[in-house]
Chains A and B, each alone.
Chain A
Amino acid sequence: MRKVIMGNHSLSYGAMLSRAQVIAAYPITPQTQVVELLSEMCADGTLEAKFIKVESEHSAMAACLGASMAGARTFTATSAQGLALMHEMLHWAAGGRMPVVMGDINRSMAPGWSIWTDQNDSLSQRDTGWIQFYCSSNQEVVDTVIQAYKVSEKLMIPSMVILDAFALSHTYEVVDIPEQAKVDAYLPPFNPPYRLTPDDPHAFGGLTSSDHYMELRYRLQKDMEKVPALIEETGREYEQMFGRYLGQVENYLCDGAELVLVTSGTAGYTARVAVDELRARGIKAGNLRIKLFRPFPFEPVRSILSKVPKVAVLDRNISYGHHGIFYQEVKSAMYGQPSQPAIFGFIAGLGGRDITRESFKEIADYTLKHDRPEEEIVWIGVKK
């Protein structure tokens, strides 16, 4: 069914079609509409789920964890300060191997108080052990939530499905909403190997001596390493059933390119249009849109970027005192490769400042003009 819906409601539809059983959330702009619609679906019976109102985001995640331990499929959504308040519980979810799926609307961290987009909220949670997907369209949001449950529950690792504040969360687009029966065929019910039940008592998250702790972490990392192959497999299965492939990255005209932009989020789609315009000027440009950020998609990134001379990484985020975070990660992935491109790092769009086709032209011009970056960070559109 084709329907015009906003990005926030795309998360709601994804959770509904995945038959989430427990939803706990605390409102925060610009996420609130995600759980507003889900609460209406719970109230009118469209979705058979328990909606738990809580007093904070920390409690929202705690409620999801309890429900997940008991064997329920759980969903929540948040943004910025709300995600930061959840931080402790994010470690509990991943360390405890609870496959919660959460929507995060990328909103800039305060202060200055901002409701607009950048990626520092979710990237600050990079090392908590969650899978992270960065989406570029409302269609991708709906599809990715469904795939995220499949991947998360198979490996017992939680997933964050991430979209830009306003630029996607409040933008209406035409979405092909999958049929419930087909989603049911794609995504079986959640059936964890262990669950909290009086019939078969277990303890979760108990004291773990140094004889055992490291093995838990080793196994989490080993299972994280299985995510890329599972995304390829479940992405192809999704394509067979729904006609849309869901992969780790999107390669737009990178093969044979002289310059590849590395992008994510909504800017990752605007970059496609910029590539078309650069090609019209005779510049062989391509766009590598990173969709899966954790685990990092080493294989496709290395295989695509090792064949091009120049790479320009766009970051809508910053690690203060270092670089943009995608820039760090791309450089780290390419280090030691037999063929290494010159890699340039650009920061743009913090606090919701627009990233336009012109921004990418500026980035391309700088990258083509220099052999190596002359600054640690090249800032785009900043008033210095």
Chain B
Amino acid sequence: MIEIRFHGRGGQGTVVASKILADALAKEGNFVQAYPEFGVERRGAPVFAFIRIDHQPIYDKSRIYNPDHVVVVDPTLVEAIDVTEGLKDGGYIIINSPKKPEDFKFPDKFKVFAIDATEIAVRHKLGTLAAPIVNTAIVGAVVKILKLTRLESLVAAIKEGVPQKPEENVQAAIEAYEKA
């Protein structure tokens, strides 16, 4: 079983990111369980989404406390909260950021990946520079780095599950997949 925690801010599509990833994984016969933080989301406030992935039915319905990997959709969260809380040793931290992985001061036991999903999203006209919609780009990178699904499954999931600008979202995900 793989457990992943997404960190974002309300309004950035973090929950949708976990849902798209779940759709793509389900297309390849995986069992998945995705859920948002059980709370009252507010625009701009830190939010979480979680996903469990397995090749057999998932019975554990408790929350995820020790994720295998974390995905940071909003880079400003790195200063605001501890995104590594409970993260297992050897876990990957995938951050939406123009910086290099070595620019982040995380303990050596974690492996850091950076992808400038904001730049990709804005170039594909997904949101604005002030409020970019980066979820499809970041999921493209996550799928590649963690070797979760084939690109075609993700593309199909985006086409079916993203209500606005599906083609732009697909192109953003492909570009992030290729750059990651």
Contact = CB atoms under 8 A, between A and B. Distances in A.
A and B assemble together: yes
Interface of A: 2-4, 115-116, 136, 164-168, 170-174, 266-267, 269-270, 272-273, 352, 354-357
Contacts of A171: 33-35, 61
A165 B61 CA distance: 12
A65 to B, nearest CB: 33
B77 interface: no
19 contacts: A4-B22, A116-B38, A166-B38, A167-B38, A170-B35, A170-B38, A171-B33, A171-B34, A172-B19, A172-B32, A172-B33, A173-B33, A174-B30, A270-B61, A354-B63, A356-B62, A356-B63, A356-B65, A357-B62
B59 A270 contact: yes
B35 to A, nearest CB: 4
Interface string B37-49: 0101000000000
A173 B38 contact: no
Interface in B49-96: 58-63, 65
Contacts, number: 62
B60 to A, nearest CB: 5
Interface in B8-45: 18-19, 22-23, 26, 30-36, 38, 40
Contacts of A165: 38
A165 B39 CA distance: 11
A2 B22 CA distance: 12
A172 B34 contact: yes
Given A4-B34, A172-B32, A174-B32, A167 B61 contact: yes
B60 A270 contact: yes
A171 B52 CA distance: 11
Interface of B: 18-19, 22-23, 26, 30-36, 38, 40, 58-63, 65
A166 B36 CA distance: 8
Nearest to A287: B59
A356 B66 CA distance: 13
B33 A354 contact: no
A342 B78 CA distance: 51
A273 B54 CA distance: 14
Query: Top 7 closest A-B pairs, CB basis?
Result: A266-B61, A166-B38, A356-B62, A171-B35, A172-B34, A269-B59, A272-B59
A270 B57 CA distance: 12
Given A166-B38, A172-B35, A267 B26 contact: no
Contacts of B30: 174
Contacts of A356: 62-63, 65
A96 B33 CA distance: 40
B60 A4 contact: no
Contacts of B58: 173
Nearest to A275: B59
B31 A269 contact: no
